[in-house]
Structure 1
Amino acid sequence: MKKKLLAAICLSFTFSLLLTGCGAAKSENGEVVVYNWGEYIDPDTLTMFEEETGIHVVYDEFETNEIMYPKVEAGATAYDVICPSDYMIQKMIQNDLLAEINFDNIPNVKNIGDQYFEQSREFDPENKYSVPYCFGTVGILYNKTMVDEPVDSWSILWDEKYADSILMQDSVRDAFMVALKLNGYSMNTLDESQLAAARDSLITQKPLVQAYVIDQVRDKMIGNEAAIGVIYSGEAIYTQRENPDLEYVIPKEGTNVWIDSWVIPKNASNKENAEAFINFMCREDIALMNFKYITYSTPNMAARELIEDEDIKNSSIAFPDFSDYQNLETFQYLGEEGDALYNDYWKEVKAQ
């Protein structure tokens, strides 16, 4: 774990230096400036891309969609490739921030399963702007030695028995998704009475919460510092490798099924290099390397066929049968007024 984290820190630091002009000069085939989630790619694939194409990779990381968006919107740094989530891609399309992808330059897109492009139509209606990179669910991770009863509902996150041992996501949409689903509502609702009910539920829960965190859910659960946490399915796979006492479930009230995809900003300086980068990431051996490294589910069907570990290949966490679950949704962009509404309610929760 420490080795992986150290490598990610070094990678981020090195490429951040390059981004600010402190690194080496461009290669003969130019560069591609990539903006991605933290610890969301195998660093070796970046080296391989540079060696095979002669294109220099400038790499930067973000922690949330909400941190990424204003930086891209401001245009101070001309990123060539970004990896936002579904609803944020929808927002970027509506605000004319993305360029249409020339799929003639991405022949490896054939490896991506049709069902993921179909799901992508919810936020990219004509599949013009995005190429799926990873997908997954949000669920409950719990420690079987610390939790007595079976876990199948979001309601356990309100059980006083686990006071100061509950971890929540420090994300307005994820936190409200949990509370909205618990109350039987859509996670994309704009009904203020429903949002107020979710807010009240989160305020009631707050004294029980040890911390609102993001990546730290994984580390705290591995280290037995908490009994229950809200987590992304890809992180759950990794935590189970490190701590066999951990179990992941999708609650019966439903959850978020998400897709993170590669997109190209409209102000990209190196669009063809960006398409070369996306094509490389869609190659089955590269997709497999990234899946093994980050443990987030790959939509790359050819890569899946290469998975040697049958338990992982058939994992219901990595590759769930969505027909087994009810009330699954993908986040939608709710407009500026909708964002403001959620943020206002979230501030009320945090202020308590």
Structure 2
Amino acid sequence: MSKKLLKIFSIMLVFMMILLTFSGCSNKNSSNSEDSSEKVVNLFTWANYVPDDVVKQFEKETGIKVNYSNFSTNEEMLAKLQAVKGSQYDVIICADYIIQVMGKQKEVLIQPINKANVPNYKNIDSSYLNQYYDKDNKYSIPYTLGGQMIVYNPDKVKKDINGIKDLWDPSLKDSAVLLDDPRSVIGMALTKLGYSINETDPAKLNKAKAELKDLKPNVKVFDADTPHNSLISGDTSIGIMWGSQASAALKENPKLKIVYPEEGMQFEEDNFVIPVKAPHKANAEKFINYLLDGKINNDITNNIEYISVNTAAKKYMSKEYLNNKAVYVPQEEFRKAKHLEDVGDVTKQYDLIWSEFKQQ
């Protein structure tokens, strides 16, 4: 081979190596970016929180497959999201206070949602926007609202029930079901004392601890998932539960009564968020937009029986739904609403109070 040909061959070889290097970098970069061609959306939320019929309808209309994974608690969700560093999932539906927690972290695990890609955002009732956990709804879009209420059997409970404080009445000994949830139950004691359910003053929390000691003889069951079952079976006669659970109880026993606590109901606003490294962000926004359609949102609400935050859904609501006190809560109750907030390091004291209360 001549020197001239060898030189040309060497130049070509170097050129090919450069091309391969850039190609490898390009492929590497593309692996970290959204694969817009993949017709998939990875959903992470509570079990049955998006009805199967709605999921199947979305898949049929868009050709996008929904991979549904579920968690039991907001804290479990956060731990898993931290473990994958904000990747793997495309849409997460979680509670308000945990969004506040995520927003305070050094490494933000969620990304801004492009509202231009979610035109049905306009259907959200403005009353539920710009809340404490995400002032401008930069990272979150409301999905549903849950409210805690008192449900009791008037055949067994002869006392007038008006609020949280009434659960301490001695006549209710060994008859109450409470949510197996520290913030909910400790919040009840704080409410009885006239304090915030997000109290951080150690002295006030110790007073709440003393109140719980007095409450314990009335508690028969702790149940976060199915507290209504003990009311239906007759094992308990009064309890605190979420609206969807209260509705299930009334369907089985129409004699049961619902009371909105006069001190104000505890509400939890669940929201859509998109993880910072979501592999299919465009599909995530399509999914969110689909669930915010008025008719679809009404179908969801009728199925899961949480409070609708969607104004476009109201025209589809049945009289049965509008008359259901468990899931259609009057607007005036929202003015007294109590929302959980992050209490930071004081969480340790809450945990200690809860542990001692359960062991009494």
TM-score by length of 2: 0.84
- Percent identity over the alignment is 34
SS state at 1:152 partner: coil
Choose the corresponding residue for 1:164, options 171, 174, 178. 174
- Partner residue of 1:294 out of 291, 304, 307: 304
1:5 corresponds to: none
Give the match's secondary structure for 1:39: coil
AA of the residue aligned to 2:348:
A
Q: Specify the structure having the higher radius of gyration (Cα).
A: 2
CA distance in structure 2 between the aligned counterparts of 1:161 and 1:56, rounded to whole angstroms? 54
**CA displacement at 1:317 relative to structure 2:** 4.0
Q: 2:59 aligns with which of 50, 54, 78?
A: 50
Q: Distance in 2 between matches of 1:143 and 1:38?
A: 29
3-state DSSP of counterpart to 1:303: helix
Asked if 1:70 corresponds to 2:82, the answer is no
CA apart distance, 1:327: 4.5
Which residue of 283, 306, 315 maps to 1:305?
315
1:1-352 equivalent positions in 2, closer than 5 A: 29-75=38-84, 78-95=88-105, 96-118=108-130, 121-309=131-319, 311-323=320-332, 327-335=336-344, 337-352=345-360
**1:314 Cα deviation after fit:** 5.0
Contact 1:178 1:255 in 2 (8 A): no
Contact 1:240–1:246 under 8 Å retained in 2: yes
CA distance in structure 2 between the aligned counterparts of 1:326 and 1:50, rounded to whole angstroms: 38
Residues 222 and 27 (structure 1), Cα distance of their counterparts in 2 relative to 1, 3 Å cut:
farther
8 Å contact from structure 1 (residues 27, 54) kept in 2: no
Gap regions ≥5 residues in structure 2: 1-34
State the SS of the aligned residue for 2:56: helix
Contact 1:33 1:57 in 2 (8 A): yes
Provide the aligned length of Structure 1 versus Structure 2: 323
Q: How far has the Cα of 1:268 moved from its partner?
A: 1.7
Task: Give the AA of the match of 2:268.
Answer: W
Distance 2:72 2:169 in 1: 29
Letter in 1 for 2:281: K
Q: Is the Cα contact below 8 Å between 1:130 and 1:261 reproduced in 2?
A: yes
CA deviation map 1:208-262 (0-9, x unaligned): 2112111120222233221011111232223222220222212122231221111
In structure 1, stretches of 5+ residues that fail to align are: 1-25
- Coordinate RMSD, CA, aligned: 2.1
Q: 2:121 corresponds to which letter in structure 1?
A: V
Q: Is the 8 A contact 2:46 2:70 kept in 1?
A: yes
Map Cα deviations across residues 3-60 of structure 1 (whole Å, 9 max, x no partner): xxxxxxxxxxxxxxxxxxxxxxx99743111111233221100111111111111112
What displacement does 1:341 show? 2.6
